[in-house]
Amino acid sequence: MHLHINPVGGLAGDMFCAALLDLDPDAFEPLLRALDALAPPPDLGVRVSEVDGVLRGRRFLVSQHGGGDGDGHHHHTHYSAIRRLLDQASLQDGVRARAQRIFRLLAEAEAYIHGVEVDKVAFHEVGNWDSIVDIVSAAWLLERLGITGVSCQPLPLGGGRVKTAHGLLPVPAPATARLLEGMELVDDGVSGERVTPTGAAILKSLAADFRRCGAGRLRASGYGFGTRALPGLPNCIQASLIEASEAGSGGDRVWEIAFEVDDQSPEDLALGLDKIRAVDGVLDVTSFSGIGKQGRMVMSLRVLVAPRAKEAAVRACFLQTATIGLRIGEAERRLLPREQGRIGLQGRELEVKRVTRPDGSVTAKVESRSLDEAEDYRQRGQWRRRGEEA
């Protein structure tokens, strides 16, 4: 399923969640049960309210009646503590992975701005429970909707200053500006903070395409509102859920980077390729051996990358491999409709990917990671049984 975002008023974590809940109102109660895995404080309230004005939509509201630490100091939470919280919470693997990625992007932006190591980053506003709930909720809703691709219209630039724990800062705030690098912006003449760090990190984690949403059938539209009033336009985002109109017709555009390496050791090249794969927006990295000039063995490499991440991927290829030249071309990618699900087997849950073929048939495959976990579980069970028999 493809998600297209129109950031009419801007983009924030609560607006993103509200829009997805407007797409799927029945998701709210299951979402609350999922959030219980975080063991939130008892005074934390999470609710959805309906907006009925020029546009109808929803607001996603998180409040904590106890407030801050009570001594007048700014509350802060270390990134390492949030990472442990997510690791220990009984969340679905896909939800945990999405949430960890969003927080990692936030931590890397803060670390760059303040000149500290990532693990030493202390979040202020982003470390509060409302931001934690926004990010985990966004991850959970994306998994529930089976979002596999995201596109977005240009983001409003905003302007002026914003009040933070570090005092007044320019808009976009420094960490937000870092996260927005590579994204398309537009100045619509309305000042203020239009994109928050949380909103920017969520969008960056999705490697959104800013050029096109692709062809397909519109399944639903949702509107998520913020609390601030903007002059002359609604402070909301519009989220559109788009499904390929027929099996196999969904597609998008990607960049393909190709090159050969014949003077780098296999061990060093393997490490370099892992670092290229870790670049935000890189979709796939493949390699195969061949014979190059002067009969030398070469490794031919291909990197597929989302459009917004092309320059970052090019830089990584030059930094992590011995190549001195790249071939870069744009390619159309066709995608079969797919969805992630789970099945039960002997008391274990396995992740399954279901794909609709052009003739309408559906094929399913258990993810290899789940099979490894199930095999490990089975072997441990056999070991216990042998021990009991002994």
On whether both 21 and 141 belong to a single domain, the answer is yes
CA angle in degrees (0–180, nearest 5) for 318-324-326: 75
Nearest CA among 85, 87, 124, 90 for reference residue 107 = 124
User: Helices 28-35 and 129-145: crossing angle, nearest 10°?
Assistant: 130
Catalogue the E-assigned strands of 175-296.
185-186, 217-225, 236-243, 250-261, 282-291
Read off φ and ψ for residue 268, nearest 5 degrees.
-70, -40
pLDDT (tens digit per residue) in 218-255 = 999 999 999 888 988 999 999 999 986 554 445 677 89
Q: How far apart are CA 295 and CA 328, in angstroms?
A: 25
On whether both 310 and 324 belong to a single domain, the answer is yes
On whether both 313 and 214 belong to a single domain, the answer is no
pLDDT (tens digit per residue) in 95-143 = 999 999 999 999 999 898 878 888 888 786 655 888 899 999 999 999 9
On whether both 177 and 32 belong to a single domain, the answer is yes
On whether both 41 and 144 belong to a single domain, the answer is yes
For 230, which DSSP code?
-
CA angle in degrees (0–180, nearest 5) for 157-163-165: 125
What CATH number corresponds to the domain at position 261? 3.30.70.1380
On whether both 114 and 210 belong to a single domain, the answer is yes
Nearest CA among 342, 351, 355 for reference residue 370 = 351
Q: What does the pLDDT read at residue 251? A: 62
CA 350 centroid distance within chain? 22
Q: Tell me whether residue 288 is exposed, middle or buried, using C-beta atoms within 10 angstroms of its C-beta: 0 to 12, 13 to 18, 19 or more.
A: exposed
Q: Cβ neighbours of residue 223 under 8 Å, at least 6 residues apart?
A: 18, 19, 22, 51, 55, 56, 57, 58, 234, 236, 237, 238, 239
Q: What does the pLDDT read at residue 71? A: 38
Q: Strand, helix or coil at 243?
A: strand
Peptide bond into 172 cis (omega under 30): yes
Q: What does the pLDDT read at residue 320? A: 96
Q: How far apart are CA 259 and CA 266, in angstroms?
A: 16
**Confidence class for position 148, pLDDT limits 50, 70, 90:** confident
Q: How far apart are CA 270 and CA 320, in angstroms?
A: 10
Residue 18 has pLDDT above 90, yes or no: yes
Beta carbons of 216 and 249 less than 8 angstroms apart: yes
pLDDT (tens digit per residue) in 53-84 = 778 999 999 988 765 433 334 467 889 899 99
Which of 201, 219, 243 is the last residue before a domain boundary? 243
On whether both 226 and 275 belong to a single domain, the answer is no
Beta carbons of 160 and 171 less than 8 angstroms apart: yes
* Residue recorded with tokens 């159309």: 332
Predicted TM-score (pTM) of the model is 0.65
Which of 243, 270, 296 is the last residue before a domain boundary? 243
Q: What does the pLDDT read at residue 200? A: 95
On whether both 196 and 300 belong to a single domain, the answer is no
Q: Which of 36-50, 148-162, 164-178, 314-328 has the highest mean pLDDT?
A: 314-328
On whether both 234 and 271 belong to a single domain, the answer is no
Q: How far apart are CA 151 and CA 4, in angstroms?
A: 5
**Confidence class for position 299, pLDDT limits 50, 70, 90:** very high
On whether both 45 and 165 belong to a single domain, the answer is yes
Q: Strand, helix or coil at 159?
A: strand
Q: Which range of residues forms the domain containing residue 323?
A: 252-335
- Domain total in the chain: 3
On whether both 191 and 288 belong to a single domain, the answer is no
pLDDT (tens digit per residue) in 337-383 = 777 777 776 667 788 888 888 887 888 888 776 766 655 555 555 43
| Cα first-last separation, the chain | 52
On whether both 197 and 91 belong to a single domain, the answer is yes
**Other Cβ atoms closer than 10 A to 173:** 23
Q: How far apart are CA 107 and CA 355, in angstroms?
A: 35
